Amino acid sequence: MNRSTFRLAGLLTALTLALSACSTDNAPKPSPLQTLTPAFEVKSIWAVPVGEVGFPLMVPTTSNTLAVANDKGQMAVLALNNGNALLRADVAKHLTAGVGLGAAQNQAGETRLAVVNDANQLVVLEGEREIWRKTLPATTYTPPLVAGGRVFILTGERTVMAFDGQKGFQLWTQQRPSEALTLKLPGVLMAVGDTLVVGFSGRLVGLNPDNGSGRWEAPIGTPRGVNDVERLVDLVGHVSRQPDTLCARAYSSAVGCVNVASGRTTWSHAANGFTGLAGDANAVYGTEADGKVVAWRRGDGEAIWTSDQFKYRQLTAPVRLGQAVVFGDAEGYLHFLASDDGRTLNRLSTDGSGFAAPPVVQGQTLLVVTRKGNVMAFSI
């Protein structure tokens, strides 16, 4: 078996392990949902079908729009207030990651979209018009980042590449020594001020977006297992960001926070989960592999509360909305817990298909995308 074949096998193996607890006849049964008296009303604002979604989607938003895509490569930019399609595009190929969304920085003021298809092609559009495409060296599961007139890519092998947003020529590439196995899950790729922050293995790394040079590195998780699967510590997408800290999860090993001014890890604690984090100024919230929901104190990582009433329900990453922590489960329920003590505040059923992406909050609007491809907006 050559190295590229072995790496592909590793990608599939890691994803299978992440899902195995919920896909076998011997898996623990999900905890039944408890009787609930809602503490507040959750209002449906709008719902729009966009087509089935089977890849690991992440949903970018602006103050008044969101971008989604389906399995067939059809994309839409929707208005946040009513779900109306402001833009539709079709790259006629299956996608492997979500949509990168940003401003085209041209005189027409168009929206720039970037996606990666299953032929490893990065496709960039202005409005509904394709302006360029490039073939990448590896499969990509993390949505492109469209920022500062550039398009940034993080491949499944954790290589970072920067392209000129208008012309498509490559500006730089940054590649670290690769792991034997990598994850078929979105990683960390985000702009924090004038720094590009990337997840390399179990570390948050700050890069100069102009040339890819390193500014700081901070470990979250450290490989400790005896085999390649146990040593996987890649950082997974959805980072909790506050002005002075970024908090992230290392796959199946740890959660931790980094001071972005100094580039140093403030704390890191063992945790067994596969999904990203949410947070506020006081706490960081996460869902564990066995269905526990945990709140850690943001300053030092000490546990504030733990809820185990959702055991084995295959939870999404959480998000903060008002005074609630919100997450979904595999049966399509949205759960609302009090951020201060973890008590259940409400529960909402969607279409029963589960969620293609973790919930997203923009302003006071909660957004979800189901696997059947229904985009739904709610408020509390």
Q: In the predicted model, what is the mean pLDDT of residues 102-109?
A: 75
Q: How far apart are CA 379 and CA 326, in angstroms?
A: 12
DSSP string, 227-283: STTTT--PEEEEEEEETTEEEEEETTTEEEEEETTTTEEEEEEE---SS--EE-SSE
What is the per-residue pLDDT across 270-302, written as a single tens digit (0 to 9) for each? 999 999 999 999 999 999 999 999 999 999 999
What letter does residue 16 receive in the DSSP assignment? H
Distance, in Å, from the CA atom of 276 to the CA atom of 305, rounded to the nearest integer, reads 18
Structure tokens at 181: 């196995």
Closest by Cα among 323, 334, 343 to 374: 334
Q: Which helix or strand (DSSP H or E) is residue 19 part of?
A: helix 3-20
CA distance 266 to 286: 18
Record: fold of 57-181: Methylamine Dehydrogenase; Chain H (2.130.10)
Cross-strand partners of 374: 49
Structure tokens at 315: 């939870």
Rounded distance, CA 327 to CA 337, Å? 9
Higher pLDDT, 4 or 197: 197
Residue 307's pLDDT band, with cuts at 50, 70 and 90, is: very high
In this prediction the pTM is: 0.91
- The model's pLDDT over 167-218, given as tens digits with 9 standing for 90+, comes to 999 999 998 776 666 778 899 999 999 999 999 989 999 999 999 999 999 9
H/E stretch holding 3: helix 3-20
